Structure 1
Amino acid sequence: MPEPANALQRLHVHLNETRLLGSISSALYYDQNTVMPAAGAEWRGEQLALLASQIHARQSSARYAELVGEAEAELEAETKAELGPSVPTERRRNLQLVRLELERQRCLDPALVASLARAQSKGNALWQTARRHNDFPTFAPALAELIALRREQAGQLAAAEAVPRSPWEVLAQPFEPDISKTRLEELFSPLKATLPGLLEQVAAAPAQQGGLNEAAAELPEAEQESLCSELLNSWGYDPARCQRSRSAHPFSCTLGPQDFRITTRVVPGQPFSSFLATAHEWGHSLYEQGLPRSTDHYFPWPLGEATSMGVHESQSLFWECRVARGRAFAARWQPRFVAGAGGDPWGGVDGFWRALNPMRPGPTRVEADELSYGLHIVLRFELELALLEGGLPVADLPGEWNRRMVELLGLRPASDSEGCLQDIHWAEGLFGYFPSYALGHLISAQLAAAMQRQIGPIETHVAAGQERVVQQWLAAHVWPLGRAVNGEELVEQVTGERLSAAPFLSYLEAKVQQLLASAHH
């Protein structure tokens, strides 16, 4: 096939081939976390390291730099020829983002890229074993290696940053473009100031917990699987484009423009865990399916990517918390859960709703209620800073985790498995990711407030089984923006206001009052 004459098209071909390699890597990752036998971990690490090296080589090569430069020159020539208004702003933004990523990749040592891929694969495998056996010392050397490699990576990437950033801030940029520690502390301070008081308020009202007989609320695994499938089907799951599997940690990933995967897990003794995790991961997938991947900026182009992980998490948390944990949703699904449990251990709809919203701190982030979730993220954010920039030794992590857990949430994990080993993120060197979860809560609340001003109460649509109306609003206002803006710009563009913790805290305060009131009826 002859090479395209148009510079933009030549760049498109290169980007498409790079994206193909990336999707192969994602497919191997999905396999590793779902069905790959444990003994395959070492070879999988070599496979992923080879792909990472090849992708980095393509993203930092002289030929790629030439292609980007030619496309930029072509764009400027069109603009100078007084065709400026006809040159899509999307093309200019795509090239800006491509240039930024090129400069970042050119800063990286190829040997470091391969070492990181191997360390991530090894860390993932060791974490799964360590978590299963409550054996932090087995995992500690892998974590120390990942921290050292990420510090080295941050040092290399700093040269491509337009403004000075700390090592943690540099590593956070791929997840939350333009974020800073100062801004996060500004957004998180109200959470630290307000959430403990709300937790104390709930704890002082034991009747709020009265609706759940946990011992009698066991749902057979087959029933949980069936409920997850029914939920997905009611929310637009298309088996021709989507697949759900099981993994140690729920996640969502996109393997191609028409290939969307999610995973869930069944947790013994927690009848809602897989159902709520399915709602959460499907929220991620809906966002991925709604990103702007038209002909003009198709799968290879940056504009077809998520705005930020904070926006990504806002979508998953919206469906999990605002919808699936809502009173209207509880009223619709309570009869189905009663049928699955062979009785009603929840004592009616209100009891079932309170069971979906236990509002009491627990040790595990993915099972956390909306009140304590933000504090879980503050804990991880502060520990990441301590590990990467504050000199905290890896060996001291379990003790420091437990100390801060008591300080923030008033409880101590029973083991490292439900403490510092509970999340997969550090096992893959994903430092800078965790704050996006809390940002997701803030963004979700602010978007929901704007949504309700336009289409009326979300609960009204959910009560009528019309979640499609909610999806349509998000598809019109949030999903198409892609990388045209960063997370905070998206919030301001959609809501007309700067991102703040206030809408989230107002929502929580109102929900707490409603839950407490429901316990007295």
Structure 2
Amino acid sequence: MGQAIDQLRSHLHGTRLLGSIASTLYFDQNTLMPAEGSAWRGAQLALLARQLHGRQSNEAYADLIEAAAQELALAHPAGPGGDGEPHPGWPRNLELLRQDLRRQRNQDPALVGHLVQAQSRGYSLWQEARTRSDFAMFAPALNELIALRREQASQLAVGETGADGQPRSCWETLAQPFEPEISQQTLGTLFTPLRQRLPELLARVEARRSEGAEAPDALELPEALQLELCQTLLDDWGFDGRIAVLARSPHPFSCTLGPSDFRLTTRIVPGSPYSAFLATAHEWGHSLYEQGLPRRSDQWFAWPLGDATSMGVHESQSLFWECRIARSEAFARRWHPRFKAALGSDPWGSAAGLWRALNPLNPGLNRVEADELSYGLHILLRYELELALLEGDLPVEALPGEWNRLMGELLGLTPANDAEGCLQDVHWSEGLFGYFPSYLLGHLISAQLSQAMERDGGPIERRLAAGDDQALLVWLREHVHPLGRSVDGAELVERVSGAPLSAVPFLSYLEDKLNRLEAT
């Protein structure tokens, strides 16, 4: 390895170390940090953000990238007599490094620090406002975050265009870190069939309920039992306490703090006895993806090439384990004896009863607790509101009313208070505009990848009935996880499934599941 390449790898390693320190502080902030620590934590994170920005934007770093590229070209010249590209990941990795360098240099360092502090304040105020169900407490912080993100988008957009050659909008620019090359036009093509069909499927469920179809009984599982079931699930799926930790937080999440340090959280929700179990399955799916990414030290620049393809792909992995596995009929049949033994009774009456309980198909106000039919409508609501806040004329102060109006239009429900409505999600408290569509893209990607998995190995339900969960992970580790950022989300789906991403496989999966649930 040449000197310039070694120096670049060393520099990137230092950058990743600093980033992991910031991630560690973030994990603590969301799990154990006392509320009064938020101001100091904001200052800590702002300092790290400024240092990271400096490392990723200075002239010395730019020179390192170009020196490494030239060294590589001299060592492996193309054309007659040359031995060509030494590793297929090199051109893509250098492209990603230059792209990130350009975006970092476009940003004002002062803005970077201000934004991180605003995120810390926003998160703290959001927690308090949600506890009190008082959006007015949070509104000033949200106004500040929107203003800062708009300014950031205007800086990042300099010299950048979308795949169609046109300038990206504010929302599209902010969405790039989550979904590279995404556009509102692409989302319109994918989401329009969902906006049309999902309400029809919900109406079908509501009609059946009004005709006297049995609704799931309310059930309370003791908190200790819920946590015990969560840990049992993780142990079944390969949880290794030497490299992974399960904690609790106000909002479930997963993060990676180092090459052998994977964190995930869950939460107990009163009145939702399966919430922690399903959230744990979801977050472990995220963690399994992180653990399977190509980040070994012997690979060419583990970062950024070894990072997740996109958050849509990331969500496809978590939704696969939550919905295709933990909510499946075969899984319910395997786990019914465990639930029954742990509780000491059988309130479900049968494995089919547990399966119905894990799939209530009952539209609710909360996105995280939503069933598979209504989940997409929760995302469409947030996506439309983000566009209105960032690019339209919706004032922050009018957000609760507009949220409630759209909730009624899409789901036929009206929140009783702000905590049930526009304060339920953590994302806007951290200025994460552009993230929500990744959840719905994840459902579409999961369905299409599942079709490819079944094409190669047979029905997922049949393999689960045989206890062959590990083989499903092996398939993902072979076909999905190793790709990292060598491709974007759309390219990954087409490469693995053989077809462009579409809403059709997801809608087909939902209709088939609804038919089977109605038949039980």
Per the shorter chain, which TM-score range?
over 0.9
* Gap change, CA 1:265 and 1:208, over 3 Å in 2: farther
Q: Is the 8 A contact 2:294 2:302 kept in 1?
A: no
3-state DSSP class of the match of 1:218? coil
- Structure 1 spans left out of the alignment, 5+ residues: none
Find the counterpart in structure 1 of residue 184 from structure 2.
181
Find the counterpart in structure 2 of residue 78 from structure 1.
75
Mean CA deviation greater in 444-453 or 291-300: 291-300
Q: Counterpart amino acid of 1:374?
A: G
C-alpha distance in structure 1 between counterparts of 2:302 and 2:22, whole Å: 15
The correspondence of residues 292-307 of structure 1 with structure 2, limited to 5 A, is 292-297=294-299, 300-307=302-309
TM-score (norm. length: structure 1): 0.96
Q: Counterpart amino acid of 2:448?
A: Q
Shift of 1:83: 4.0
Q: 2:216 aligns with which of 195, 212, 215?
A: 212
Q: Is the 8 A contact 1:491 1:499 kept in 2?
A: yes
Superposed CA offset, 1:171-217 (max 9, x none): 00000000000100110000011001101111111289626321xx2
C-alpha distance in structure 2 between counterparts of 1:401 and 1:134, whole Å: 14
Find the counterpart in structure 2 of residue 376 from structure 1.
378
- Structure 2 spans left out of the alignment, 5+ residues: none
Find the counterpart in structure 2 of residue 143 from structure 1.
142
The correspondence of residues 478-497 of structure 1 with structure 2, limited to 5 A, is 478-497=480-499
Q: 1:352 aligns with which of 351, 354, 357?
A: 354
Find the counterpart in structure 1 of residue 236 from structure 2.
234
C-alpha distance in structure 2 between counterparts of 1:297 and 1:344, whole Å: 51
C-alpha distance in structure 2 between counterparts of 1:438 and 1:208, whole Å: 31
C-alpha distance in structure 2 between counterparts of 1:332 and 1:348, whole Å: 11
Superposed CA offset, 1:337-385 (max 9, x none): 2233332222211111111001121011000000000111110111000
Find the counterpart in structure 1 of residue 418 from structure 2.
416
Q: Is 1:196 equivalent to 2:199 in the alignment? A: yes
C-alpha distance in structure 1 between counterparts of 2:76 and 2:170, whole Å: 38
Mean CA deviation greater in 44-53 or 411-420: 411-420
Find the counterpart in structure 2 of residue 110 from structure 1.
109
Find the counterpart in structure 2 of residue 39 from structure 1.
36
Q: Is 1:30 equivalent to 2:27 in the alignment? A: yes
Q: Counterpart amino acid of 2:37?
A: G
* Gap change, CA 1:205 and 1:155, over 3 Å in 2: same
C-alpha distance in structure 2 between counterparts of 1:59 and 1:224, whole Å: 44
Shift of 1:234: 0.1
* Gap change, CA 1:509 and 1:112, over 3 Å in 2: same
Count of aligned pairs: 513
Q: Is the 8 A contact 2:381 2:407 kept in 1?
A: yes
Q: Counterpart amino acid of 1:41?
A: S
3-state DSSP class of the match of 2:157? helix
Q: Is 1:386 equivalent to 2:388 in the alignment? A: yes
Q: Is the 8 A contact 1:131 1:417 kept in 2?
A: yes
Q: Counterpart amino acid of 1:270?
A: S
3-state DSSP class of the match of 2:56? helix
C-alpha distance in structure 2 between counterparts of 1:430 and 1:61, whole Å: 26
Find the counterpart in structure 2 of residue 396 from structure 1.
398
The correspondence of residues 468-483 of structure 1 with structure 2, limited to 5 A, is 468-483=470-485
Shift of 1:326: 0.3
Shift of 1:7: 1.2
Find the counterpart in structure 2 of residue 172 from structure 1.
175
Find the counterpart in structure 1 of residue 368 from structure 2.
366
Find the counterpart in structure 1 of residue 60 from structure 2.
63
Q: Counterpart amino acid of 2:8?
A: L
Superposed CA offset, 1:409-446 (max 9, x none): 11111211011000000000000000000000000000
Find the counterpart in structure 1 of residue 436 from structure 2.
434
C-alpha distance in structure 2 between counterparts of 1:233 and 1:209, whole Å: 36
C-alpha distance in structure 2 between counterparts of 1:8 and 1:429, whole Å: 36
Superposed CA offset, 1:211-259 (max 9, x none): 6321xx2110000000000000000001111001000000000000111
The correspondence of residues 244-263 of structure 1 with structure 2, limited to 5 A, is 244-263=246-265
* Gap change, CA 1:499 and 1:208, over 3 Å in 2: farther
Q: Is the 8 A contact 1:246 1:265 kept in 2?
A: yes
Q: Is the 8 A contact 2:121 2:141 kept in 1?
A: yes
C-alpha distance in structure 2 between counterparts of 1:234 and 1:326, whole Å: 16
Q: Is the 8 A contact 1:210 1:351 kept in 2?
A: no
Percent pairwise identity: 63
C-alpha distance in structure 1 between counterparts of 2:144 and 2:36, whole Å: 21
Q: Is the 8 A contact 1:211 1:350 kept in 2?
A: no
* Gap change, CA 1:108 and 1:86, over 3 Å in 2: closer
Q: 2:15 aligns with which of 14, 18, 26?
A: 18
TM-score (norm. length: structure 2): 0.97
C-alpha distance in structure 1 between counterparts of 2:199 and 2:180, whole Å: 30
3-state DSSP class of the match of 1:159? coil
3-state DSSP class of the match of 2:263? strand
Shift of 1:79: 4.0
Shift of 1:461: 1.4
C-alpha distance in structure 2 between counterparts of 1:219 and 1:478, whole Å: 36
Q: Is the 8 A contact 1:211 1:351 kept in 2?
A: no
